Amino acid sequence: RGQIEVDDHCHTGVDGVWAVGDCVRGPMLAHKGFEEGIAVAELIAGLPGHVNFDTIPWVIYTEPELAWVGKTEQQLKAEGIPYKAGSFPFAANGRAVAMVEPAGFVKVLAHAETDRILGMHLVGANVSELVHEGVLTMEFSGSADDLARICHAHPSLSEAVHDAAMAVSKRAIHKAN
């Protein structure tokens, strides 16, 4: 009933035997297992297999949905990491209001000095589809400013991500800073 011990490349220590998914360390998320399987296949093929466990998205499919990637404010405080936060409410997002789904928000956490995104937390309609903007930005060591400089279609729920990223530096345009 335990887990199979593996190294950083999902190798068990037995020649030719790897293990991925729910039977190894880390969260029991199907998409985490898929990525581990792809990484192992790449390694076997002589390619550089890779899974960044810091950018695994988490989603709770409730109503409203919850989604996050990276660290929480509590974790950053406990680790002594200086950070700044920007948030944006769905109540100020035109698409969310038009959908009659104004409950929720997007919060972006960025390093206070480098502006690198350290976490993104979302509550609201369809946030399971929005969290990947944070995943992508974090995977490539992007900043809140990088995310803020991407043009987002209007009206769209993704504009809440844009405004939250802009709010990190007190530049949100659809809410008071």
The alpha carbon of residue 78 and the mean position of all alpha carbons in its chain are separated, in whole angstroms, by 20
Question: From CA 18, how far away is CA 35, in angstroms rounded?
Answer: 13
| 31 annotated active-site | no
Question: Of these residues, 9, 11, 132, 154, which one is catalytic?
Answer: 154
Burial classification of residue 145, based on how many CB atoms lie within 10 Å of its CB (0-12 exposed, 13-18 middle, 19 or more buried): middle
Going across the sheet that includes 58-60, the strands are 58-60, 65-70, 117-124, 105-111, 83-89
Q: Show the tokens assigned to 147.
A: 């995310």
Do the Cβ atoms of 82 and 112 come closer than 8 Å? yes
Closest CA to 84 of 44, 119, 40, 46: 119
What residues are labeled active site?
154
